[in-house]
Chain A
Amino acid sequence: DAGVTQSPTHLIKTRGQQVTLRCSPISGHKSVSWYQQVLGQGPQFIFQYYEKEERGRGNFPDRFSARQFPNYSSELNVNALLLGDSALYLCASSQWDRGSEAFFGQGTRLTVV
């Protein structure tokens, strides 16, 4: 079985631009979560989606948004990019919305210049 897949793997954007990151969960998993990892830090929670509904949101500005599709894949959108948005964006796939093991993708490295 394929693991969690994220695309693209690397991305360079200019300040003020918008970016869309994509994630496909493990087959059978209905929950997708997004995390931001800045260099040298642990991942920080951005969103959780379960059955196409937002179930949790971390402390991130409204420039960050996400959605989940009927096939359980997900997109993370970031508008009006800032230099501080440069980070590794990780997608996690879980079977249920609460308390189940999380499996992470390889991440998307976003660089804002």
Chain B
Amino acid sequence: KQEVTQIPAALSVPEGENLVLNCSFTDSAIYNLQWFRQDPGKGLTSLLLIQSSQREQTSGRLNASLDKSSGRSTLYIAASQPGDSATYLCAANTGNQFYFGTGTSLTVIP
């Protein structure tokens, strides 16, 4: 069974810092890996999707990498802003379902 782990569970940084969120998964047989953002009590907003054949994807200040062989993905956030404060979830797609980590709660201090 696929297991997804996210480290750290919580992170607090001053505005302007660059930061890295980590995601690991146990089964490398994935179709893709998707990063989401979740604000308190809200649904999930898709940030980046990396197909299993890709190494990285970029969108604005966000960059996600994927190393399928080692079962790892990272989300890099450049020049963090207070509006980036949220929980970030990674999800490994094994075909017809996503396996989620428990998320990293990010607080960016003005």
Interface residues of A (CB under 8 A from B): 4, 6, 33, 35, 40-45, 48, 50, 55-56, 58, 88, 90, 92, 97-99, 101-107, 109
Cα-based distance from A56 to B106 in the complex (angstroms): 32
Choose, from B12-20, B38-46, B59-67, B73-81, the stretch at the interface: B38-46
Cα-based distance from A6 to B42 in the complex (angstroms): 12
A55 touches B96 (CB 8 A): yes
Task: Determine how close the nearest CB of chain A comes to the CB of B19; give it in whole angstroms.
Answer: 20
B96 touches A107 (CB 8 A): no
- The verdict on A42 contacting B103 (CB below 8 Å), with A56-B96, A58-B97 known, is yes
Interface size counted on chain B using CB atoms at 8 A? 25
Q: How many A-B residue pairs have CB under 8 A?
A: 67
**Additional 4 contacts, C-beta under 8 A, given A92-B98, A101-B46, A104-B46:** A42-B89, A42-B103, A102-B34, A109-B41
Q: What B residues does A40 contact at CB under 8 A?
A: 102
- The verdict on A105 contacting B43 (CB below 8 Å), with A98-B31, A99-B32 known, is yes
- Which residue of A has the minimal Cβ distance to B49? A101
Cα-based distance from A55 to B94 in the complex (angstroms): 13
A102 touches B96 (CB 8 A): no
B97 touches A33 (CB 8 A): yes
Q: What B residues does A48 contact at CB under 8 A?
A: 96-97
- Which residue of B has the minimal Cβ distance to A108? B43
- Which residue of A has the minimal Cβ distance to B97? A45
Cα-based distance from A92 to B91 in the complex (angstroms): 13
A90 touches B49 (CB 8 A): no
- Which residue of A has the minimal Cβ distance to B103? A42
Q: What A residues does B46 contact at CB under 8 A?
A: 101-104
Cα-based distance from A40 to B91 in the complex (angstroms): 16
Cα-based distance from A41 to B103 in the complex (angstroms): 8
Task: Determine how close the nearest CB of chain A comes to the CB of B39; give it in whole angstroms.
Answer: 10
B101 touches A42 (CB 8 A): yes
> Using a CB-CB cutoff of 8 Å, which residues 42-72 of chain B contact chain A?
42-46, 49, 51
What are 21 inter-chain pairs, A to B, with CB distance below 8 A? Answer: A33-B96, A35-B98, A35-B100, A41-B102, A42-B101, A42-B102, A43-B91, A44-B100, A45-B97, A55-B96, A56-B95, A58-B97, A88-B41, A90-B43, A99-B32, A102-B91, A102-B93, A104-B44, A106-B43, A107-B42, A109-B41
